[in-house]
A and B are shown apart, each in its own frame.
Chain A
Amino acid sequence: MANMKTMSFDAVIVGGGGSGMRAALQLAESGYKTAVITKVFPTRSHTVSAQGGITCAIASDDPNDQWQWHMYDTIKGSDYIGDQEAIEYMCQTGPEAIFELEHMGLPFSRTAEGRIYQRPFGGQSKDFGKGGQAARTCAAADRTGHALLHTLYQGNLKSKTTFLNEWYAVDIVKNEDNAVVGVVAIDIETGETVFVKSKATVFATGGAGRIYASTTNAHICTGDGVGMALRAGFPVQDIEMWQFHPTGIHGAGTLVTEGCRGEGGYLINKDGERFMERYAPNAKDLAGRDVVARSMVLEILEGRGCGPDGDHVYLKLDHLGEETLNAKLPGILELSRTFAHADPIVEPIPVVPTCHYMMGGIPTNVDGQALTIDKEGNDQVIEGFYACGEAACVSVHGANRLGGNSLLDLVVFGRASGMFIEKQLREGINLKEASEADIERAMSGLNRINNSEGGEKASVLRAELQTIMQNYFGVFRRGDFMQQGIEKLNELRPRIENVALEDKSNAFNTARIEALELQNLFATAEATAIAAEGRTESRGAHAREDFQERDDENWLCHSVYFPESKTIGKRGVNFNLKTREAFEPQIRTY
């Protein structure tokens, strides 16, 4: 231990996706010694898969558009447990953050006037829901995430950020004051373990869609940040809230952007009926994602699904014409032909709701500071620890995220975290050094895996975990089923802790990484299960058959999952808008 290599930085960002690179950019530009630890080369991060765009009131499509309307839509979309202060900050600051990206070179699609092209997305309105559908999602064709991620990587190259590419953060190092002073990480190429010490540690580790069997998420989305935070004893918030995207390609899980419906595509059942007209007479196919996903499942359950097993519906695009599809949705044509063997120019795409996004995560304030809750129920900042992007719950998405808001979330709050840490560094951050024992504690999980004998294969255990989550904690949830699911997870826990690692070699040992990722998947899944069972109402993405109504009296609040007691607490929703009076909860219809 004494001879363990140590590296030291002003700020360390764990995760090289959109939010991590936006935070890194801010800090590197300010001259602070900044490093990004990323388990894949940065442009391979999952932000790259975002398609449709980034929602923001830049008043291109509609010169009279207002960020306040975007704020209203987001609060309504969140089913009123999004923090209004954070949503206000995101929607108001958004245009500035978007224009910065454009100045950095992001190749947005353009309007005839030369401005950024915006398309309609679900849940968007003008004039606080009274002015009809808005078109507010800024797009680079249907490859916005790719364009954004590459632009941010390029910006970081220009600013000379230090990248620790293909390094895997294993666990948080805390000092005697319970402050975060860095992480233990593995250089995957050599297998070397290093203590990466930092005055500020930012978790931008993304989501954990791989806890489900069917997901749009990349293989790397394994909840590493949530897992590490929970092992360090820190809570997570609203972790029961998982978005199922209406249109994942049936069988493959690959995402088909909501932009397809924004451009005029729609869903049909086996009778060719545009069924969303029944469920959401006004917004139809552009209702909130939770609403559309549930409607699809109901169509399938009631026998109107398509295909030989009646287990999916169709997304119809052919009426848009070849020219529009080639210009606006070229990536979708590629994906559909490859993974659905369907050419959208002439035939519909088979789609099914698929796990897509983790609304919950590490609770933070708008400056990205991670929070815990003290015994009196008050927010308490965790010194040295920050989070942004999908790993964080700031919370702008509440119980249901609107399409196009994830990219905005990650640039706005990556930027905000960077700016705040810059300020703190300027004022001086003084955290106590970690002791040998503190570092040893962060090594314990890795040591256990490295010394494992026997045990079952990670791939087998992972598949079992994903099946449990899919079956017991999916689009529709029920108390007695969820209790069975929790029991099954309890049985799985010791087997996952005892996962096999037969290959103890050092060079690019992906088996070791997968064994570690499995621990994070399990931690995220367990928190999800307990929080889902605990929230006895239906709200946003959390739909319970045994509690079908939203219960504002008891549950107009965040759930907070504490890992040591494995219990759920409640935390108030922030209703403190700076620019106007709060939006009071309304019945949510589209």
Chain B
Amino acid sequence: MVISPSLIISSLNLGILTILLGSIFFFSKSYFSKGNVNFPLIKTTSACLSVNNDKEETIEYNSGPFAMAILKVLAFLSVLSLLVTCNNSIQSINITLSLWLSNTPLNISLNFIYDQYFLVFLSVALIVTWSIMEFSFYYMTEDPNSSAFFRLLTIFLLNMLILTCSNSLFLIFLGWEGGGFLSFLLISWWTTRNDASSSALEAVITNRIGNIGLITFMALSALNFNSSNLTNILSSNENLTPLLPFLLFGLILAAAGKSAQFGLHPWLPALLEGPTPVSALLHSSTMVVAGVFLLVRTSELFSSPLITHSLVLILGGTTALFAASTAIAQHDIKKIIAYSTTSQLGLMVTAIGIGQPALAFFHICTHAFFKAMLFLCSGSVIHSLSDEQDLRKMGGLSKLLPVTSSCLILGSLALMAPLLAGFYSKDLILEATSASVLNLLGIVLSIVATMLTAVYSFRIIFFCFSLSPSCSSPFSHSEENFNLNNALLRLATGTIASGWFFSNLLFAPPSFNVTSLAKGTPLIVPIIGVAALFMSLISSTSNSIGSNAHSATTSQWFFVDAVHLSIITMSLALSFFSSRTLDRGWQENIGPQGIAPTSTALSKISQAGQIGLIKRYILSSMASVLVILALSLLILS
């Protein structure tokens, strides 16, 4: 058998998925009591043993190094498969392993598609997860059940990879749903915290709304194209069915739910209740881009000149503007980064709306590096300042945490300064926006959002560096932990190099013919934003700003309050009405409360005949026989 590159790639990728799946079963429990420990088994290379000095002498076995080793190997394997793909300029490999469910007309099969999108995403996701796993080994050391945490992260990664590589809609749904469920488990990791569990509830409920969209899409595509394979759906000539708007609506709803677009956004900032590695992995780099990834995969459906293009554009632009304007007024460092994520997701959706899915995907890849790094930096800062999240109380961090703070600067600059990762993709998106025919509002929104991005990014830098340390008891020895430093530095390398690497060596992004003004916009606009920020910082006084506009940005445009109140009021009014009319109203009166008196009255009437006289009984039976005879005669005649 000839070893062809496609064979290598498909076996490599299947191998990665299989190893990941298999590794889940080898995460051990965290604690063994000494009596039960089988020492030679545990003293493997991947085990980390430390004997506590407690009275009970428990031995801590942590599977963090194991997870790190697995992910490291897989990351190198994925880079290998990416290189093979590039070398042979393979566009996509579509393999069908076996029939999964054969009893359906839809032919549901284990159908994977290994194209450039998946292969690049695989490498990025594995490298980012590897770094985050290393970080969480540092961050979760004191957690009693950290092995389970690593296992959940790995299962999540597996789900994400299934979502991105599968061609069958059912497998996509599996990964989609699995990601949502794992996100629920990971946010409510500290289960006893009420805030955490309510955020997890909020996330899972919002994700259900997105799932409605995906299920709509699946059902309608099964109805229209009689297939559950994405390639079949996209290449079908009957794309222009009358149901196409509903299909697209389902897709947009799914993407909006998963990628936290405006209207379904409140869960993303609420997710910060989870541990920081979770925020870094799920809610900045991988899970939230699943919606955008779905749109990228199905972008050929959007090619018809419908109003949907415009709709997606405005949706993305609104999200970008909303999140950016909210981020500039937050004080919680993690919230700023979370809103920044939402804003970048909006920008990705904008790129879908102008018909450039490749650019949206490019932004996904670069964004994963620097946003994961920003979250890890914020986790390191919060850990070092003993759980202080308020940006205003951080200051002079560069003295205390040199590596973290330089990475923090790097990540913030990546969003606005040239030659760093985020700028490559963002610049391209803005260029593509200014080179195409589109809704005027879309371009305005994306430019304003870019300006605000620079403002909040610079605000983090300003507050972390300009002031003197204001925290009570900083202990900066956390940077001596090489797990933290390695993770940060690896992601920092990605932040510096990935934009250049992807644009030159992988994607060959298109060039656009734009005016010099439009070309300069991504550079000029952040400078204006930073200048405006400095002006306001200089002119601002210590008095609190009480204007409505300020409150609108601090309280997320009042969206959450207004929507919660309206939903609650409506459902309460409805339930009050139904309770008054049904449960305690006419239904109760006619039904349970009505039947009892009626049947009582009826039985009382019949009781009148039952007085024990044989003549009465004979008479009544004769009468009934007569009645039956008369009736049967009447019917038969």
Do A and B pair up? The answer is: no
Listed in ascending order, the chain B residues whose CB lies under 8 Å from chain A are: none
Q: Residues of A with Cβ closer than 8 Å to B?
A: none
